[in-house]
Structures are given as structure tokens and as C-alpha cells.
Amino acid sequence: MYSWLIDLPRAVKRAMLITLDTALIPACLYLAFVLRLDPSWLPIFLERSWALFPLLTVSGIAVLVVWRLDSFKIHAFEARASIRFAFAAATMAVIAMGLSYTFQLGVPRSVPIIFAGLYTLCTVCVRIGAQAFFEWLAKRSSRMIPVAVYGAGAAGIQLVSALRRSREVTPVAFVDDNHTLHGLVVANLPVRSPATLQGMIASGRIQRVLIAIPSLSRIRRRQLIAELSGLGAEVQVLPSFIELMDGPALEDQLRTVDPDDLLGREAVNLDIPDVAKAYAGRSVMVTGAGGSIGSELCRQLVSCGPARVVLFELNEFALYSIDADMRALTEGTGIQVVPRLGSVCDRARVDQVIADQGVEIVLHAAAYKHVPLIEENEAEGAANNVIGTQTVAEAAREAGLERFILVSTDKAVRPTNIMGATKRMAELVVQDLQTRSPRTKFAIVRFGNVLGSSGSVLPLFQRQIASGGPVTVTHQDVTRFFMTIPEASRLVLLAGAYAEGGDHFVLDMGEPRKVIDIARRMIALAGRTVREEGSEDGEIEIKVIGLRPGEKLYEELLIDNDSLVKTPHSKILRAEEKALSQIEVAAMMRELNAAIAENDAPRVRAAVRKWVEGYHPPAVSTDAARLGT
């Protein structure tokens, strides 16, 4: 019955409301006469004033339409809407007085006033009663999922109001840690203790818990998610009501996950005031400025107060986007934003931009980074990652720039793929240039997997969960180090400040995380369940598709862990790793240039095997799926 009523056409629902409100007009008018007159006088006045009943009813229909009382949805009716009902009733009371005077009906003057009060009360009560009836029907409907809202504060109350408009869930109770609220009724829902949740979930009265406490710290939120997930119910984290109102529909606003929720550790605080001194008043060029890391670098540079930020990017749309963002961020700061199209492999263009813009520091984030793509496009990957790095680094050295920071990857350590191997070659080039650069300080920063960047597991898993799965993972035991985009970008800026020349900087990212655990956490935070053996009624399947070409089970940050040296920041470490001689680097680049010039993939791989220490391509079929990580 609930579904039938909800699915009725809106025109039919409005007609039903108009009919109901119209029927209340003569009923309330009669009751007003009864309340005003002595029983012995009632028949006399009704006989003399009978014409008022049809006249006011017809006039009342027009009043109802003008005040649009049929536009209020019954199952979403709020008490504040009663103000409009009062105005409509008052309008009808004035009309009743006018009709009585015009047609000399002899209606006592107090009857229209009593009628207005009665009509307001009746129409509001009818809607509140209908709303309660709809909620009762919803709870009996097998399609509605009973939920508990964790948090009986303002956000929780507002979210309950929003959820009552949903056809998928029905709020049953509040849960709150505040013992003074236990036993109270808030927004027509009882407030329960967290200790009662397990029993309600076990009995089936609650199937989903919605966390509605925007003020929770990240630590407490992770703890709460872990506690609730162990009770056997689905857990979702909802944004604030303001975000719900400003954004898309409720179902689309369920915040699947925040990158910090997936780290398995506290985000590293890299906001050190002294860092700004390294960039204040300088002209800084960011290559790959439109990429995930490059664009965040540009944004974070604003807080350091540089004189100029040069955005160097090959992709026109990416450059347009970051240029627009930067101009909004730098408005009124005096920081000049200079967008420049160009390839890092074009030495003439790089030299021109450095000279024209007086560049003093280069943050080199331009690179091809997607492992499967580079595995099948070896020459292009090597050209961009190795030749491009050499081009920009040599331009920086010959121009006598202050610093050059290379953004690298943990995949460069004992690589199993061409992408990682080309990044290691780029590192070797930078290390070599440092030996012949008395003025420019070169440094290398190694990242783990950056959550939220293009191609990372976060956007991939979010798309897969939103589409109903499956969520694809390449191997049951694959592990990765993870960091957020702000952490990665800030680490680059810190490296620029700490650089002494030839440094390798890494961030202490704690223990590596299993990617399959990340997938499970994201599914849980999206309020879904994993479909697996023993839980066939789950919603989202996790599918293991096999390692991709060039992928390994685990990543490392350092070739030699014994070389670590502390920096002024406890979570940032410096390493000194083995480098090639100038003659060896020159030979490596000759072989690589020749292979790239002829687009000879086997020769590129031969150069990689020869010059990159620890390179060992795994025996994985090139037909492996390109989804997952």
C-alpha cells in the first residue's frame, strides 16, 4: 500500500489534498456555529445562514489554490508550514464576514474567527496524522531499511528530517554517547545508548548505522567506524546538512571515504613555517603543473609567498584549469601566475621559459606514471620520464638555478616495470648532474601511492562501488605505501627547503597497507557489504584479477635502508644511495636516446636491464586486466 500511495501521480495527490481541505470547510464552519451558539438558537441561525456554507466552500477552493496548500508533501510536512494554513483560514474568515454582510445572512461576527482557528487546527492535524500513517506504513514496508542515526545533535536532527523524505531508508532511533539524552525523544525518535545497538542489530530492528557527527576528529571517527563495523550492520558516514542541501541528492552525498580514512595512520603534519622562507619572493616553475601532484604543488606554493609561479604543462586543458584555480587563489596577494605550454623534452622552450621568467627553483612533477600504459609504450615513457628530466635538469644547472626537485616514486626501487625503471634512470641523471653542479642543489623525493590522484585506487574503487561492483584488486596479498595529495605535495616543498645536494627524501608512511583491505574499508564506508563466501547476500564483490604487467606484490622506498639520515622533521628521512659515474650515465643516455630515436622497445628494455640495479620484470601475462591496483 505504501508503494502504491507513493507512486501515485502528483496530480492525483494534489486533487486528493484539495478534496480533503475543501471538505473541511463546511465541517469547520458548522462546528464554529455549534461552539458559538446555544443549542436552542442553533437551528434558527443555521436556517437563516445556510447560504454561507456553499458560498464559503466555493470561495475556499480558490483560497486553497491561491495559497497552494496542496503543494505540501504530506510525508514531508513540517510544523512551520502551518503558518500558511493559518493565513488561508484567516482569508476565508474575512470572506465569510464579507458574504454575511453582503447577503444579510446574520452570521455572528465571532463565528468566522472561530472557524479560522478550527480550520487551521484541523488541516494541520490531518497532515500530521497522515505523516504518522505514512511513517507507519514505511516501517511495515519490506523495502525500507531501518537505520539508526549516531548523533542526536543538530546535524542528526536535520539528517533525520532529510531521511524521512527517502524511499530507501527509515530512521528508527538515535544513538548518542551523551547519557543525559538517553530515554529522551528527539525529532519523534527515541535516543538510545550505544550499548543497545548490538541488540537492535541482532534483532533486525536496525540494519544500517549513519554517523551524523560532523565535529568528530579523524581519530575518533576511525575508531567509531571500526567499533560499529564489528556489530554486523552497514555503516555510513554522512556529511553535514548544509552539504546535503548545497549538493546533489542524499544518496549521492553519502561520503564514501576521505583519503585520510584509508591511511591506517595519522596524517603527517608538514606545515612548518620555516618552509615558506625557501620560496618567499622567488620565481618557482612547476613542470606537469596540471597533474594531480603538480596542481596541488602550485596551490600550496601560494601560502609560501613566491613572487611568481610558472605553470609549465603540455596538456592545454590541464593548464587552463590550474591557471584558473591559481588566479582565484592569488587574487590580491601580489603573486604573479604565468601559464606556459610546452614539453619537458623541448630544450629550447624550457630554456626560454626559465630565462624569460627569471626562474630560481624548479619542481619537476612532469612524468608518465601509469604502469600498464608505460609497459606497452616503453619508448614514449622513457622519452618523457628520462629525457624530459635530463632536459629540464641540465637547463636548470646551466642557468645556475638555486634548486631542482625531482618528484619520483617508490616504484623506482628494484623496479619490475618500465615506469619505475625510467624513474630510477631519471634519479641517476639527477644524481650525476649534482656532481658537476656547484651552484644548483638537486634533490629527489620518493612517494608511495598517492590517494586521490589520477589513476589511484580511491577514484577507481569509488566508481566501481557506485556502479555496484565488482571492485577489482590485482592480488590478494598486494601491499602499498599510501599518502595523501597534500602530504605528497608538502613533502616536495620541504625537500626544496632541506636540500643540500644529491638528496633522496622519503616520508615515514608507517606500515604498508593491503590494497584488498582498502577495498573492504571503502565498501564499508559506502554503507555496502562485501559479497564473498559465507556472505552471499553481500552487495559488492571483490574480484581478484591477477597482477598487471610490471606490477609487484609490494613496494620499497629505499634501495639501502642503512643509509637513512634524519632531517629537521622527524617524519622525513634523507638517504644517500649508490650513483653511476658521469661516464656511465653518458653511456646510458646514448643507448636510451638511440632506442627512443628508432622507437625500438626491445632496445629500451635492454638499456633498462643493463643500467637499472635490481630491475627484474615479473612473468605476468600481458592479457591481465588493467583495472585495480
Helix residue ranges per DSSP H, 187-332: 197-202, 218-229, 241-246, 250-253, 292-302, 316-330
Of 202, 205, 201, the residue nearest 189 (C-alpha): 205
* Phi/psi at 96 (5° precision): -60, -40
C-alpha cell of 387?
629525457
Cell (9 digits) for 573: 628521512
Q: Is 91 helix (H, G, I), strand (E, B) or coil?
A: helix
Sheet holding 530-531, edge to edge: 471-473, 540-544, 530-531
234 phi/psi in degrees, rounded to 5: -70, 145
What b/e readout covers 365-390, taking b as 16+ CB neighbours within 10 angstroms?
A: bbbbbebbebbebbbbbbbbbbbbbb
Segments in 185-269 forming alpha helices (H): 197-202, 218-229, 241-246, 250-253
CA distance linking residue 544 with residue 553, whole number of Å: 13
Whether a cis peptide bond, with omega within 30° of 0, leads into 470 is: yes
Amino acid in position 275: V
Residue 213 — φ and ψ, nearest 5°?
-130, 85
The SS3 call for residue 115 is helix
Q: In what order do the strands lie in the sheet with 441-447?
A: 336-341, 308-313, 283-287, 361-364, 403-409, 441-447, 503-507, 572-575, 564-566
Place of cell 620520464: 385
For residue 77, give the 3-state DSSP assignment.
coil
Residues with a known catalytic role: 411
Query: What are the grid coordinates assigned to 267, written together?
Result: 596524517
- Half-sphere exposure in the Cβ direction for 188 (13 Å, CA): 13
Angstrom distance (rounded) from CA 365 to CA 493: 12
What phi and psi, each to the nearest 5 degrees, are found at residue 313? -155, 140
Residue with cell 579523524: 218
- Taken in order 221, 225, 228, 233, is the CA torsion positive or negative? positive
**Helical segments of 152-288, H only:** 154-163, 197-202, 218-229, 241-246, 250-253
The three-state secondary structure class of 559 is coil
> How many angstroms separate the CA atoms of 86 and 112, rounded?
13
Helix (H, G, I), strand (E, B) or coil at 569: coil
Q: Are strands 572-575 and 564-566 parallel, antiparallel or unpaired?
A: antiparallel
For residues 356 and 253, give the distance between their C-alpha atoms in angstroms, rounded to a whole number: 46
